[in-house]
Amino acid sequence: AIESGVARKVITDWDAYNEELMSRLGSNNKLLRDMTNQAKQDPKRIVFAEADNYKILRAAQIVKEDKIATPILLGNEARIREIMRETEIDLGDVEIIDTKKETPRSEEYTQFLFKKRQRRGMTMFEAKKMITDRNYYGACMVEFGEADALISGLTKNYASTVKPALQIIGIEEGISRVAGMYLMITQKGPFFFGDTTVNINPTAQELVDITVLIEKSVAQLNIQPRVAILSYSNFGSNDGELPEKTREAVKILHEKYPDMIVDGEMQANFALNPALLADNFPFSTLNGKPANTLIFPTLESGNIAYKLMQEIGGAEAVGPILLGLKKPVHVLQLGSSVREIVNMVTIAVIDAQIKCAAKEASQAK
């Protein structure tokens, strides 16, 4: 579990929970501070794929100085050093790797990539070329244990960053999909949104898999997940492909995961307003307290919702937290701020700590 001090006990009483959250979050954002303290307890090596960028270098300096992580930089060394000189960023004896040049690891990484993808249409020539791409090289560093996590995506679209991770690192055992989650820090406390970044139009079964993945991750934060599967329809009030898909997902979840607090399909206001839900749908298993984990029917709806919350709702969006990969790779939003990059590194370090502890526990068995 993420023992970040975020909440050391599972909180079940909603009022007490909200009160505690507000005191935790306040104006100084204690939740994030607790996560930072957790990261500092066991700093990890973070490889930055886009180190020829001022914001990345500034974030690298902050996480190094705050002892959250040891940065490793990928990119053209002369260019990186020039930016650091111009912006007075000092990263001491930081390791810089230019993946466009032959490195001591290029050959082994190329062979590895070719072996993985040779029956998926990749030629040796292509593998050689791809390994010079910083996302492929960085994913290999994580796969081979030469870095603990990869951070990328500031300047590229999401898909081109997540694909190398899927191809090289792959998904955790027992998991069928990776998915993206946002922690939305709002005036009403934290909410978890998913899938906001990966699965474009998941099937009912894929929605089930995404829900299980996200629900587990929320529970790892020692917060009792209360999950609403969202749609534009309430419990069968509308027909149509999307409501039917979400209805089917809820049916499977109720059958297969009877202990999970989950209901739907429902509109977002019913999920978040217990009085409204109780008045209209007293049978709902979500009754009594609002949902804190919102599952969206498509990537489009999830992605739009969190960005609206960010821009109009004044929420701080922490993420996207990429869930389900075997090893930590985290993909920034295009154009993230330095603060968002630092938050993402913090998450990546905690993710690496958790995965490392899980590996040690399974090896000890």
Which one of 103, 106, 167, 186 is in contact with ligand ACO (CB under 6 A)?
Answer: 167
Residues 6+ apart with CB under 8 A from 289: 14, 226, 274
Minimum Å distance from CB 317 to ligand ACO? 9
Examine residue 67 and tell whether it contacts ligand ACO (CB under 6 A). Answer: no
Judged by CB under 6 A, the chain residues 115 through 154 that form the site for ligand ACO are: 120
Number of H helices, E strands in the chain: 14, 11
> What's 259's DSSP letter?
T
> How many residues bind ligand ACO, per CB under 6 A?
17
Examine residue 199 and tell whether it contacts ligand ACO (CB under 6 A). Answer: yes
Minimum Å distance from CB 175 to ligand ACO? 8
Minimum Å distance from CB 166 to ligand ACO? 3
Examine residue 166 and tell whether it contacts ligand ACO (CB under 6 A). Answer: yes
Q: Residue 95: enclosing H or E segment and its boundaries?
A: strand 95-97
Minimum Å distance from CB 352 to ligand ACO? 20
Candidates 196-204, 225-233, 264-272, 275-283 — which segment interacts with ligand ACO by CB under 6 A?
Answer: 196-204
For the chain, how big is the Rg over CA atoms in Å? 21
- For residue 200, the tally of other CB atoms under 10 A from its CB is 10
Which residue's CB is nearer to ligand ACO, number 16 or number 159? 159
For residues 336, 197, 158, 353, the Cα torsion angle rounded to the nearest 10 degrees is 70
Which one of 53, 197, 293, 346 is in contact with ligand ACO (CB under 6 A)?
Answer: 197
Euclidean distance between CA atoms 80 and 257, whole angstroms: 50
Strand 316-323 and strand 179-186: the pairing is antiparallel
Q: Are 261 and 214 in contact (CB under 8 A)?
A: no
Examine residue 61 and tell whether it contacts ligand ACO (CB under 6 A). Answer: no
Binding mask 318-337 for ligand ACO (x = CB under 6 A): --x------------x----
Q: Is 69 helix (H, G, I), strand (E, B) or coil?
A: strand
Minimum Å distance from CB 66 to ligand ACO? 24
**Residue type, position 131, single letter:** I
Minimum Å distance from CB 42 to ligand ACO? 27
Which one of 46, 69, 162, 214 is in contact with ligand ACO (CB under 6 A)?
Answer: 162
Examine residue 200 and tell whether it contacts ligand ACO (CB under 6 A). Answer: yes
Candidates 100-108, 192-200, 251-259, 354-362 — which segment interacts with ligand ACO by CB under 6 A?
Answer: 192-200
Task: Using alpha carbons, select from 51, 39, 109, 112 the residue that is nearest to residue 80.
Answer: 51
CB-side neighbour CA atoms (13 Å) of 139: 27
Which residue's CB is nearer to ligand ACO, number 4 or number 135? 135
Which residue's CB is nearer to ligand ACO, number 178 or number 277? 178
Which residue's CB is nearer to ligand ACO, number 109 or number 158? 158
Task: Using alpha carbons, select from 205, 185, 148 the residue that is nearest to residue 325.
Answer: 148
Q: Are 186 and 315 in contact (CB under 8 A)?
A: yes
Euclidean distance between CA atoms 88 and 76, whole angstroms: 18
Euclidean distance between CA atoms 193 and 211, whole angstroms: 10
Which residue's CB is nearer to ligand ACO, number 197 or number 284? 197
Euclidean distance between CA atoms 70 and 140, whole angstroms: 18
Euclidean distance between CA atoms 153 and 155, whole angstroms: 6
Which residue's CB is nearer to ligand ACO, number 111 or number 167? 167
> What's 91's DSSP letter?
-
Candidates 89-97, 161-169, 234-242, 249-257 — which segment interacts with ligand ACO by CB under 6 A?
Answer: 161-169
Minimum Å distance from CB 322 to ligand ACO? 10
Examine residue 22 and tell whether it contacts ligand ACO (CB under 6 A). Answer: no
Judged by CB under 6 A, the chain residues 79 through 118 that form the site for ligand ACO are: none
Q: Are 227 and 291 in contact (CB under 8 A)?
A: yes
Q: Which residues bind ligand ACO (CB under 6 A)?
A: 120, 158-159, 162-163, 166-167, 171, 177-178, 197-200, 303, 320, 333
